[in-house]
Amino acid sequence: MFEYNTREAINSSALAVLLLICSCQIGLAAGSSVSVSPQTVTASPGDTFTIDIITDPAGSEVYGAECKVYFDNALLKATDQSKGTFLSQNGAETLEVSNNINNDLGVVEYGETRMGDPDVIGGVTDRGVLTSITFEAIGSGTCELRLEATLADSGAQPIDAVVNGGTCSIAGTGETSTVKETPASAAHAKQMPEEKRSPGFGGISLTIGLIAASLLIVRRGIK
């Protein structure tokens, strides 16, 4: 009888653990995400290609977003970056907080926020393209397109999101080149697996905070 009860207890505990793991995986899958698309790029030296940074709020209301894409500047040269339609959905006006290409450091930066009264325009809840980046292949090998991204609501509070980078293979040599790290990103990069959670919200939060504060002042003035 004791052996039977012990086995039953073990089986019940194992089932509970399994259900907990499944529920965690479902919760992760249902969360917001920011991803490089396509995640795998194949090119030849001299080719140009464009990647999109796809943002999926998964039900959260996103009011502002920013991202950085790190690449090996010995293999790739960023030539252009264009604004996507993600944050301007529903006809909302937006403000580009940053739109920078730095081939010397091997990083492309982009930040944008919606403009207007959050109570009126709300945040974005549908999937869309935050920004599109065009690269030229200038070497041979394989390099990571390492993505860092942050999302925020209308109160400048960060929205937890899974971030997925990509890979670019040039001429199919099979040689692997990791992204060159700047001093500012080196410590953070060591903590970032292939699929990772977004870090704390950066400089764009200041802009969103100022916008929110100005709206509050206007409302008080009207009263």
Please give the average pLDDT of every successive group of 10 residues along the chain, which has 223 residues.
49 43 40 96 96 97 97 98 97 96 98 94 96 97 97 94 97 49 36 42 51 47 48
- 65-108 pLDDT, tens digit per residue, is 999 999 999 999 999 999 999 999 999 999 999 999 999 999 99
Residue 163 has phi, psi (to 5 degrees) of -115, 125
58: left (phi over 0), alpha (psi -120 to 50) or beta: left
pTM higher than 0.75, yes or no? no
Q: Which CATH number, 2.60.40.680, 1.10.3720.10, 2.60.40.420, 3.40.190.10, labels domain 32-213?
A: 2.60.40.680
Q: How far apart are the first and last CA of the chain?
A: 75
Q: 193: which 2 tokens?
A: 């697996």
Q: Is residue 133 within 8 Å of 69, Cβ to Cβ?
A: yes
Side chain identity at residue 50, one-letter code: T
Q: Alpha-carbon distance 107 to 101, whole Å?
A: 6
